[in-house]
A and B are shown apart, each in its own frame.
Chain A
Amino acid sequence: MTDAAVVTKVDSRGTACPGPITDLAMAYRRSKVGDTIEIWATDPGFKPDVQAWAAKTGNPIISLEEGPEKITAVIRVVRR
């Protein structure tokens, strides 16, 4: 029997140093293949960071939206 896939929501809004990429990396460490990570951030630098992270790790970004109050990235974990 395998564990059910989970959706992890991470609120990284207003994160100061070292920044929201820390929260994403930590959520990735705890994840398993099939999981989804949804992360909220306000740091404008998060958008290019999450894109670079997805390209490097090979985990696709399902959606990346920049709203007036937050950036929301949804990532599917397909490899690790």
Chain B
Amino acid sequence: MSRILILGGGSAGTILANQLGGRRDSVTLLTASMEHLFQPALLYIALTGANANVVRDERRLVLRSVKLVQERVTKVDLNQKLVEGSSGERYTYDRLVLATGVRTDPEQIPGLPAVYREFGNYHSGIALAQRLWSALRNFDGGTIALGQSTPICVCPPSPVEGILLLDRLLRRRGLRHRTRLVLFTPYPRAYPAQGINSVIEPLLKERGIEVMTFFDLDRIDTETKVIHSIEGDEITYDLPIIIPPFFGPDINFEPSEVADPSGFLLTDRETLRVKGFDSVYAIGDASSLPTSKAGVGAHLEAKVVARALRGDRAIFNGRTNCPMDLGDGRGTFVIGSYRTPVVPYRPSRLNLLMKHAMARMYWASLRGTLEPIFDLYFWLTTPERLSRRRVSKGA
């Protein structure tokens, strides 16, 4: 019997544990917290005041055959096959899966901790999302500047979704005509992937949203209320909404060379093995994979590793499928893969319904009971198929 140890009880770790649980292998899942948060809900808590039940107890989400332990991992020695936790407990394994997610570190950007104390954000938990909603309720016009701290952003559609939902909120409250909305981005365009940017940019223009490109956040001066970029540009704000800088897990790895300078684990983009270690995998946001850090990726990567651990040949193709709320009752999806660049995907009401339906299915999807539905959906919407359809229509 093989001992499989999974670190991290977010989407990726939970899905993988449930896919492996009940088989002949022993599966242990270490999680730092028993509170499992549905992270995409933070957008709606912060920008629409939603008050949904978005946290569940991890113990109710994991199959009984999985050994679930609350443990904050502090050290992973890949040479010795040894994991240490903050409790002092040590864990050994035959095969290891790192699904430890990301951490945010506002201290890396001067002025950002003070911004969060006053205005919150929508990427760092419920309390800060509620703080942002509270700041927006008190907002009475001026400039709102929204953007990301660094080029690495968990849920890449979230900056565009955020600014479009803000536009809707301000129109409903009769404040749009006296509010300047600015989306700043380190990229050459509003959305980095050109395929979907061609869909997004006309919408931003139509709604009077300014886009400042090549704006790499350097520091925020909270006295003068100015955001400065490395490139030398500035934005004066009344309300800043800043997506935090993301880093790899705060774990001491041995050898340290398995992580890149931001702490993300160097991972083979197809096999998902951590470079140099055949029995170690990284999935979800913790990896350095050249694809979106998003729930769909975590889900698909967990499935690939589940197959690999069962002894089957399994390859991750870099598939993205990020839903995007366009703030006007319609939605779109960011669909691409390693082989096929992101395709332009026509906005529709059905797409937004699908985004909300997928959110409702989230808890069930962790248990793996909806896999046939997801498999069919992903098969029908492969980027290659969508690209061919687009070409055949002469789009």
A5 at the interface (CB under 8 A from B): no
Tell me if B151 and A25 are in contact (CB < 8 A).
yes
- Pairs across A and B, CB under 8 Å, 28 listed: A14-B269, A14-B338, A15-B338, A16-B290, A16-B292, A16-B318, A16-B336, A16-B337, A17-B156, A17-B193, A17-B320, A18-B156, A18-B192, A18-B292, A19-B192, A21-B192, A25-B187, A25-B216, A26-B151, A26-B262, A28-B230, A29-B151, A52-B188, A52-B214, A56-B214, A57-B214, A57-B230, A80-B230
Residues of A within 8 A of B337 (CB): 16
Residues of chain B in range 132-184 having any CB-CB distance to chain A below 8 Å: 150-153, 156
B341 at the interface (CB under 8 A from A): yes
User: Main SS of the interface on chain B?
Assistant: loop
B278 at the interface (CB under 8 A from A): no
Q: How far is the CB of A19 from chain B (nearest CB, A)?
A: 5
Residues of B within 8 A of A80 (CB): 230-231
A45 at the interface (CB under 8 A from B): yes
Residues of chain A in range 15-46 having any CB-CB distance to chain B below 8 Å: 15-19, 21-23, 25-26, 28-30, 43, 45
Within the assembled complex, what's the spacing in Å between the Cα atoms of A52 and B314? Answer: 38
Interface residues on B, range: 20 to 34
User: Main SS of the interface on chain A?
Assistant: helix
Tell me if B341 and A43 are in contact (CB < 8 A).
yes
Within the assembled complex, what's the spacing in Å between the Cα atoms of A49 and B191? Answer: 13
Residues of B within 8 A of A25 (CB): 151, 186-187, 216
Residues of A within 8 A of B290 (CB): 12, 14-16, 23
Tell me if B187 and A17 are in contact (CB < 8 A).
no
B334 at the interface (CB under 8 A from A): yes
Q: Identify the closest chain B residue to A26 (Cβ).
A: B151
Tell me if B150 and A29 are in contact (CB < 8 A).
yes
Q: How far is the CB of B194 from chain A (nearest CB, A)?
A: 5
Tell me if B334 and A17 are in contact (CB < 8 A).
yes
Residues of A within 8 A of B291 (CB): 15-17
Within the assembled complex, what's the spacing in Å between the Cα atoms of A79 and B103? Answer: 30
